Amino acid sequence: MSDGITIELATWITDRCTEIRDLYDIEECVRQPDEQNLIEFLYDLSAFLLELECPHKELTCGDISGRFLSPSSKELLSNYLESEVRTARLVTLRKIESGEIVSEKRDLELTPVIDAAFQTLNVQKPTGNANEWKLLETLRQKADGRVTQSRRHPLFKATLDDKILPEVEKQCESFSRDFYNRLLLLNSRLKVTVESFLWNDRLKMHREKIQSILAARVEEIGKIKTNSDIAHILSASSSLLYIQKASAMSKRDRTKSKQHPLSIGDAPKDRGGRTDDMHGVKQESFKQQQQNYSRQNSHNRPKNTGIFERPKTHEEQVLEQHTSREHNGQNWRGRGRGRGRGRGGRPFN
């Protein structure tokens, strides 16, 4: 490098120019300098200062190789770039707050957290470029509304005395028995569900692993204490009164699985008819097909033959119709010409 600008100073200048370029979104840039491209670096710096409309003539005019030799010019350049960086940051921040632009340097680590917050609060995600401050304000309002709605009120409001205390103890025993029975029912359902899965041939080879996981889960459930006391009743609040069905759509979201194509039959092919009047192919056994054919063709063959004839093809049916028409036409023409024994004809010799 020259005596005026060192490698360290040139690198610092390049970093400041790059940040200003990104914040202001301008096309001019200053390339990273080295020992071989000193002139290119000075030309890039001069063009960049002109793009920023630098008011200091000693930095933009004169011999390009001698502009930054003096300590005063280097100090002036450093102060000017530092002030431009601060100004660019402030202008960009105001544009982001006003919604004019959206910051592309957002913290990507917070994106899944914000998505989870929207899903928890059942808030529809905004489309397009939305202001971050408005999103946070929306989340705050929804969270405050949830807190207001979820305020707990105690369920037990009576005064504990010698008359009510025995009744409360009986109720605690009833709760304990009910809770214990529910745990037994849960264990039974788990075992039955696992046994039903083990009917599959592909899962039989993993039977030991599945049974070990089930045993560990049943053991964890068995450690749960089922004893209810007065402290549990006093701590019961109105939040326990919210009951939601297990079949609610909010709980079953994204739980539907795709149907295997082999589990359903083939769709009927379109033969050119109207799709509104089309019906699926009826599955019939051989015996049913034979009975249907017998009913449809009973007038075309002698009854009680006991022989199942092969259905005629379309070509055979058309040929039979043409043959029948030609035969009938000859008889009619023959009678008209007097060749038969009818009226107006001569008998055969």
Query: Is 105 among the domain residues?
Result: no
Q: Cα angle vertex 340, ends 337, 341, to 5°? A: 130
User: Virtual CA dihedral for 233, 234, 238, 239, nearest 10 degrees?
Assistant: -80
Convert the pLDDT of each residue in 225-262 to its tens digit.
878 888 888 888 877 777 777 667 666 666 666 665 55
Query: Is 41 among the domain residues?
Result: yes
The average pLDDT across 274-294 equals 59
Whole-structure pTM value? 0.32
Query: Is 111 among the domain residues?
Result: no
Query: Are residue 94 and residue 11 in the same domain, yes or no?
Result: yes
Query: Is 21 among the domain residues?
Result: yes
pLDDT of 39 above 50: yes
Length of the chain: 349
* Domain boundary pick from 176, 211, 237: 237
% of the chain with per-residue pLDDT over 90: 2
The C-alpha atoms of residue 213 and residue 201 are separated, in whole angstroms, by 19
309 contact partners, CB below 8 Å, separation of at least 6:
297, 301
Helix (H) or strand (E) holding 195: helix 164-197
The C-alpha atoms of residue 280 and residue 268 are separated, in whole angstroms, by 6
3-state secondary structure of 237: strand
Q: Which amino acid is at 275?
A: T
Count of CA atoms in the C-beta half-sphere (13 A) of 197: 14
**55-69, 193-207, 314-328: lowest mean pLDDT where?**
314-328
Convert the pLDDT of each residue in 188-197 to its tens digit.
988 998 888 8
Greater confidence, 205 or 249? 205
Kindly provide the b/e burial profile for residues 147-180, where b requires at least 16 CB atoms within 10 angstroms of the residue's own CB. Answer: eeeeeeeeeeeeeeeeeeeeeeeeebeebbeeee
Q: pLDDT-based confidence at 96, cuts 50/70/90?
A: confident
Query: Is 212 among the domain residues?
Result: yes
Query: Is 197 among the domain residues?
Result: yes
Query: Residue 13's closest CA among 45, 61, 57, 51?
Result: 45
Greater confidence, 270 or 72? 72
Domain tally for the chain?
A: 2
pLDDT of 266 above 70: no
290 contact partners, CB below 8 Å, separation of at least 6:
308
Query: Is 173 among the domain residues?
Result: yes
Tokens of 345: 């004809």
* Domain boundary pick from 98, 130, 156: 98
| Residue-number span of the structural domain to which 231 is assigned | 167-237
- Residue 263's pLDDT is 56
User: Treating both helix axes as pointing N-terminal to C-terminal, what angle do 7-24 and 38-51 enclose, rounded to 10 degrees?
Assistant: 40
**35-39, 108-112, 274-278: lowest mean pLDDT where?**
274-278
* Domain boundary pick from 237, 256, 272: 237
Query: Is 110 among the domain residues?
Result: no
pLDDT of 217 above 70: yes
